[in-house]
Amino acid sequence: MGKYVLKRILIMIPILIGISFLVQVLVSIAPGDPARSIVGADAEEWEYEKVRTELGLDKPMLVRYWDFIRNVLQGNLGVSFFSKRPIWNEIMTRFPYTIMIALMSVALAVLVGIPLGIFAATNQFTWKDSFAVLLSLITVSMPSFWFALLLVQFFSVKLRWLPVSGIASWQGYILPVVSIALGYAASIMRQMRSNMLEVIRQDYIVTARAKGLSERKVLYKHALKNALIPVVMTIGVLFGMSLGGALIAETIYSLPGLGQFTIAGLQNRDYPVIQGSVLFMSCISITMMLLIDIAFSFIDPRIRSQYTRKRRGAKEDLGRGAA
């Protein structure tokens, strides 16, 4: 297992390099000039060129990319063009808000989606199943930003129950988390329903029922564990998506998180902010996928045995070759 984890970590390196290079290309070809934004439209040409040189924008793209990678290897994500503050410090200040929203969104989606999926599967071909499926289709199709605006209009403007923006208390997390979690809960519900319907038709489930076990014990002790295996991967993917969803939620609700920081960097053409934020969130997403793969081996013993058989077969081939 240790070699497997090390192999996955090594695979992360070229992926992150590819992401960082793609971001460098995109910010280089994007319209707009941060140096011109800093000096203003009425500045002299020498002032403009001076700022470009100070920011390193006069260098070729590949040279700027190499400077960025070299700084990253030294633990430095650069300095903002506009605020002149270190990107790493800004990320560490804002990331707790983003990760809290992402974790709570996924947790709420799991708490709602898995029970609804089980409920729909155990009531197949009834109005309860049809209603759950219809509700999931509506929520999956609903744009999250539009739903977020509806929540603001109803709970904040009309009812005045929750704050419109900011996180002055725990109530500030409610609307952002719900607006992100609703669509994810529908995805988990549909996945859970499909898996549960497939599992409960297996022979070992029929045998468990024939032994006289209660339906509750059959579902939650025998069927649920195997039905959860694909859902775990879905949850990992949704966590990565929730970081992206936080970009929209933090903008709508004016939250001081990493999403709003990244959007501001995009609007200002603040290249170090864009590169540092995207690279940091990519690291978090890829690390989450690695943790999901490790969790797979504990949930499904077949994965561990498959990995063990591969190692044993490699050793046997090596022994035969030596003989």
- Nearest by Cα to 81 from 280, 283, 278, 267: 267
134 within 8 A of 263, measured Cβ to Cβ: no
The SS3 assignment for 92 reads: helix
* Domain assignment present for 160: yes
Per-residue pLDDT, 22? 92
- Nearest by Cα to 34 from 244, 249, 275: 275
Residue type, 161: W
* Domain assignment present for 137: yes
Distances (CA, A) of 1 to 12, 278, 295, 311: 17, 30, 12, 10
* Domain assignment present for 255: yes
16 within 8 A of 279, measured Cβ to Cβ: yes
**CATH number of the domain that residue 135 is part of:** 1.10.3720.10
Tell me how far the alpha carbon of residue 118 is from its chain's centroid.
Answer: 25
> Residue 205's CB: how many other CB atoms inside 10 A?
17
Per-residue pLDDT, 55? 83
Q: Are residues 51 and 96 in the same domain?
A: no
* Domain assignment present for 10: no
The whole model's pTM is what?
Answer: 0.77
Region of residue 121 (phi > 0: left; psi between -120 and 50: alpha; otherwise: beta): alpha
Q: Are residues 242 and 122 in the same domain?
A: yes
Q: Are residues 112 and 182 in the same domain?
A: yes
Domain finish residue from 50, 73, 96: 73
Q: Are residues 127 and 102 in the same domain?
A: yes
Q: Are residues 56 and 203 in the same domain?
A: no
Residue type, 49: E
* Domain assignment present for 11: no
Tens digit of pLDDT at every position of the chain (323 positions): 567 677 777 888 888 889 889 988 888 888 878 888 888 777 788 888 888 888 888 888 888 899 888 888 888 888 888 888 899 988 888 888 888 888 888 899 889 988 898 888 888 888 888 888 888 888 888 777 788 888 888 888 888 788 877 777 778 888 888 888 888 888 888 888 888 888 888 887 878 878 877 777 778 777 877 787 778 777 877 877 777 777 778 878 888 888 888 888 888 888 888 889 888 988 888 888 778 777 766 666 665 555 555 555 544 554 554 44
Per-residue pLDDT, 128? 87
Q: Are residues 271 and 143 in the same domain?
A: yes
> In the block, which residue shows the tokens 């800004």?
90
Q: Are residues 59 and 95 in the same domain?
A: no
- Residue 25, domain extent: 18-73
What six digits make up the tokens of 92? 């560490």
Q: Are residues 69 and 93 in the same domain?
A: no
What six digits make up the tokens of 230? 């694909």
Q: Are residues 240 and 108 in the same domain?
A: yes
Per-residue pLDDT, 302? 60
Q: Give the burial class of 199: count Cβ atoms within 10 A of its Cβ; 0-12 exposed, 13-18 middle, 19 or more buried.
A: buried
- Cα(292)–Cα(237) distance, integer angstroms: 9
Q: Would the CA dihedral through 168, 242, 249, 117 be positive or negative?
A: negative
Q: Are residues 94 and 165 in the same domain?
A: yes
Contacts of 210-215 with C-beta under 8 Å, sequence gap 24+, read none
Q: Are residues 32 and 134 in the same domain?
A: no
* Domain assignment present for 7: no
Q: Are residues 174 and 53 in the same domain?
A: no
